[in-house]
């Protein structure tokens, strides 16, 4: 079986190890994509730290772009040489959720132990998140990929496959924002900046960015935030009410996986407000709310996975907006690294100061 270079997690919390692994040829319905770029997402780090369990050894990475290099039986609509983004949204197409238009909630489990990856001595190697994209190539289901323009830079395109669809999709699909509504976005990181530009695209009136860092609040304004609130204030929601003319927001998008952010988020909502839960805390962590308030003034909380996107519908329009200059992508990249530097890139992401760090694969 052919081997490829990958960054492998052997122990939760330990550095990833660059080594050769085996990648099987695409089976029926699958494609092989040779990667140009993969971005580092906070979900990769949570998995590698053991926050959500899963079996080891594993290859993480799920925000990728590259070129189709082999096609399995029965795949139509794609050809070798196509430029594509690779997402973790593996949808069967026929379960009630998929058939009902919610592929991010696909009910058919993916068996990552029997995926295309194995160690060089033939032992199971987890293809985490149905991608395993911290590697030179991936073999994925054809429903996980979307064609992109061949002249689009792959490092920029890679961002679309997770952070961008998650943030923009949360504002557009999950929150169903209407023009003129007020929005609070908690967290101005990789997903938060995209939630902000999603709110702008959807026609929000005021967009309040909330973050611990002044610098990130300034960056948030470049992406469409009209106001910034420092989360470290005594009662930061009061600054938000003030910016909104003395009321709460119709929509509060929580883009960080921190419990204090979730506990404060409800305070920013106005009458009839909705909180969209995007950031993913570690398993077992809980937040508390005061139900009487929510019942009395008709508030709600809604979870949103991957921006509730239908990738074949939503990725092409997002890329078109990018090409028109209406969706910022280049500005999301704060660092470019080689696969060998992946542990440094992860450490840089963990500081919280980075936007997106992208690994570029050397094809020489």
- Nearest to Zn ion of 161, 226 (CB atom): 161
Q: Among residues 33, 39, 84, 98, which is the contact residue for Zn ion, using CB under 5 A?
A: 98
Is the CB of residue 196 less than 8 Å from the CB of residue 172?
Answer: no
How near is the Cβ of 107 to Zn ion at its closest, in Å?
5
Taking alpha carbons only, the member of 110, 140, 16, 113 closest to residue 55 is 113
How near is the Cβ of 97 to Zn ion at its closest, in Å?
6
Say how far apart CA 86 and CA 144 lie, in whole Å. 6
Residue 92 found at the interface with Zn ion (CB under 5 A): yes
Say how far apart CA 22 and CA 118 lie, in whole Å. 5
Neighbour count for residue 10 (Cβ, 10 Å):
13
User: For residue 189, what are the contacts with CB-CB under 8 A and spacing of at least 6?
Assistant: 42, 211, 216, 255, 256, 352, 355
Q: Tell me the window of 85-93, 196-204, 238-246, 269-277 that interacts with Zn ion (CB under 5 A).
A: 85-93
State whether the Cα torsion 29-33-37-38 is positive or negative: positive
According to CB under 5 A, which residues from 298 to 327 bind Zn ion? none
Residue with tokens 């690294």, as numbered in its chain = 337
- Nearest to Zn ion of 299, 349 (CB atom): 349
How near is the Cβ of 164 to Zn ion at its closest, in Å?
10
How near is the Cβ of 40 to Zn ion at its closest, in Å?
9
Number of residues that this document lists for the chain: 364
Q: Tell me the window of 31-39, 78-86, 144-152, 162-170 that interacts with Zn ion (CB under 5 A).
A: 162-170
Is the CB of residue 54 less than 8 Å from the CB of residue 47?
Answer: yes
Size of the site for Zn ion (CB under 5 A): 9
- Nearest to Zn ion of 91, 349 (CB atom): 91
Q: Tell me the window of 9-17, 160-168, 333-341, 350-358 that interacts with Zn ion (CB under 5 A).
A: 160-168
How near is the Cβ of 96 to Zn ion at its closest, in Å?
8
- Nearest to Zn ion of 158, 231 (CB atom): 158
How near is the Cβ of 163 to Zn ion at its closest, in Å?
6
Q: Among residues 9, 41, 252, 327, which is the contact residue for Zn ion, using CB under 5 A?
A: 41
Q: Among residues 130, 131, 162, 165, which is the contact residue for Zn ion, using CB under 5 A?
A: 162
Q: Tell me the window of 83-91, 140-148, 241-249, 320-328 that interacts with Zn ion (CB under 5 A).
A: 83-91
Taking alpha carbons only, the member of 284, 277, 83, 107 closest to residue 185 is 277
How near is the Cβ of 169 to Zn ion at its closest, in Å?
12
List the alpha helices (DSSP H) in the chain.
Answer: 42-48, 96-99, 154-159, 165-169, 190-201, 214-222, 236-243, 259-265, 291-296, 311-323, 342-350
- Nearest to Zn ion of 108, 232 (CB atom): 108
Tokens of residue 242, six digits? 């003030």
DSSP 186: E
According to CB under 5 A, which residues from 102 to 131 bind Zn ion? 106, 108
Is the CB of residue 18 less than 8 Å from the CB of residue 130?
Answer: no
How near is the Cβ of 319 to Zn ion at its closest, in Å?
18
How near is the Cβ of 194 to Zn ion at its closest, in Å?
11
Is the CB of residue 147 less than 8 Å from the CB of residue 30?
Answer: no
Say how far apart CA 140 and CA 301 lie, in whole Å. 33
- Nearest to Zn ion of 92, 153 (CB atom): 92
SS3 91: coil
- Nearest to Zn ion of 106, 183 (CB atom): 106
Neighbour count for residue 48 (Cβ, 10 Å):
25
Q: Tell me the window of 35-43, 70-78, 134-142, 252-260 that interacts with Zn ion (CB under 5 A).
A: 35-43
Q: Among residues 95, 302, 321, 347, which is the contact residue for Zn ion, using CB under 5 A?
A: 95
How near is the Cβ of 249 to Zn ion at its closest, in Å?
25
User: Contact residues for Zn ion (CB under 5 A)?
Assistant: 41, 43, 91-92, 95, 98, 106, 108, 162
């Amino acid at each position: 079986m052919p081997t490829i270079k990958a960054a492998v997690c052997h122990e939760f919390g330990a550095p990833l190890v660059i080594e050769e692994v085996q990648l099987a040829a695409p089976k029926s319905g699958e494609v092989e994509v040779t990667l140009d770029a993969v971005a580092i997402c906070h979900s990769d780090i949570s998995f590698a730290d053991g926050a959500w369990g899963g079996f080891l050894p594993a290859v993480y990475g799920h925000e990728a772009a590259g070129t189709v290099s082999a096609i399995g039986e029965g795949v139509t609509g794609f050809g070798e040489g196509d430029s594509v983004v690779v997402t973790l949204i593996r949808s069967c197409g026929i379960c009630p959720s998929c058939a009902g238009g919610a592929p991010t909630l696909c009910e058919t489990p993916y068996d990552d132990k029997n995926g295309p990856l194995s160690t060089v001595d033939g032992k199971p190697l987890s293809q985490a998140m149905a991608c395993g994209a911290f590697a030179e190539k991936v073999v994925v289901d054809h429903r996980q990929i979307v064609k992109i323009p061949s002249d689009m830079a792959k490092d920029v395109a890679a961002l679309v496959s997770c952070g961008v669809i998650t943030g923009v999709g949360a504002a557009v699909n999950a929150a169903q924002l209407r023009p003129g509504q007020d929005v609070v976005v908690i967290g101005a990181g990789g997903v938060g900046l995209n939630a902000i530009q999603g709110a702008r695209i959807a026609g929000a009136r005021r967009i309040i960015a909330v973050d611990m860092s002044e610098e990130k609040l300034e960056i948030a304004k470049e992406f469409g935030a009209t106001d910034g609130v420092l989360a470290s204030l005594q009662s930061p929601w009061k600054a938000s009410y003030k910016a909104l003319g003395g009321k709460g927001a119709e929509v509060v998008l929580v883009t960080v996986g921190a419990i204090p952010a979730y506990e404060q988020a409800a305070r920013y909502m106005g009458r009839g407000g909705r909180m969209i839960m995007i950031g993913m805390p570690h398993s077992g962590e809980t937040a508390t709310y005061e139900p009487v308030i929510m019942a009395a003034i008709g508030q709600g909380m809604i979870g949103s996975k991957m921006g509730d996107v239908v990738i074949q519908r939503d990725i092409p329009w997002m890329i078109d907006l990018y090409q028109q200059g209406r969706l910022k992508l280049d500005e999301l990249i704060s660092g470019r690294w080689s696969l060998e530097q992946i542990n440094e890139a992860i450490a840089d992401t963990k500081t919280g100061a980075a936007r997106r760090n992208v690994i570029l694969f050397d094809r020489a």
